[in-house]
Chains A and B, each alone.
Chain A
Amino acid sequence: DVKVTQSSRYLVKRTGEKVFLECVQDMDHENMFWYRQDPGLGLRLIYFSYDVKMKEKGDIPEGYSVSREKKERFSLILESASTNQTSMYLCATNINTGELFFGEGSRLTVL
């Protein structure tokens, strides 16, 4: 079974802090994705990566950056957290067949 592990299930940060959300997958998949999920807005794609050191912007990249130094690890970075970034963050991975494998999510609260 594919395992996608997100480093933190719950985080509380203060406005202006730098936040790192880590995601690790164990299935050697090329593609990795970061989504955020908010009530009434569904899942929105922040960034994705098709290969090591490669990244592409999704639909809502503003305020975020990513890093993919190793194939199995995809990190989401909030350079200066703001209250409107309070959300559930979901990491996912796949090969090009379309089926996504998700982690359990990281619920971030920015005070």
Chain B
Amino acid sequence: SQQGEEDPQALSIQEGENATMNCSYKTSINNLQWYRQNSGRGLVHLILIRSNEREKHSGRLRVTLDTSKKSSSLLITASRAADTASYFCATDVTNAGKSTFGDGTTLTVKP
């Protein structure tokens, strides 16, 4: 069963613009993670936010978490062509490392 759902499914922007992706989930969580996947490759962890946190930053990435709405957003500022990839959210409800993934958002950044 899918715990997380990303929105939009696809996003196309110009280089330099900001990209925002959203993730909604169904049950209470211990943490939520965001991953990036380049075409045909494995997933790379970007950022993890715990249920008692509301916002985290890492370089050009900003993640927010609203547990009352069961949603999270990933903002990539000043996007670059190299940011073109699929982005996935994953939720861990057990705090035992087992995570459930959404379907992902495909981001295209045009140079």
Contacts and interface: CB of A to CB of B under 8 A. Distances in A.
Interface of A: 4, 31, 33, 35, 40-45, 48, 50, 58-59, 90, 92, 94-105, 107
B44 to A, nearest CB: 7
A40 B86 CA distance: 12
A100 B43 contact: yes
B90 interface: yes
Q: Pick the 7 closest A-B CB pairs, nearest first.
A: A102-B42, A43-B101, A42-B103, A31-B97, A102-B43, A98-B92, A94-B97
Given A40-B103, A42-B102, A59-B1, A98 B95 contact: yes
26 contacts: A4-B42, A33-B98, A41-B103, A43-B43, A43-B88, A45-B100, A50-B97, A59-B1, A59-B100, A90-B43, A94-B97, A96-B96, A96-B97, A97-B97, A98-B30, A98-B31, A98-B95, A99-B48, A100-B33, A100-B35, A101-B45, A102-B35, A102-B44, A103-B42, A104-B41, A105-B40
Most A-side CB within 10 Å, residue of B98, B102, B103: B98
Contacts of B90: 43, 100
A40 B83 CA distance: 21
Interface residues on B, range: 20 to 34
A95 B35 CA distance: 17
A3 B79 CA distance: 28
A98 B103 contact: no
A71 to B, nearest CB: 15
Contacts of A40: 103
A61 to B, nearest CB: 13
B83 to A, nearest CB: 19
Contacts of A45: 98, 100
Most B-side CB within 10 Å, residue of A31, A41, A100: A100
Given A31-B97, A58-B98, A102-B42, 19 more contacts: A42-B2, A42-B88, A42-B101, A43-B88, A45-B100, A50-B96, A90-B43, A95-B97, A96-B97, A98-B31, A98-B48, A98-B92, A98-B95, A98-B97, A99-B33, A100-B45, A102-B43, A104-B41, A105-B40
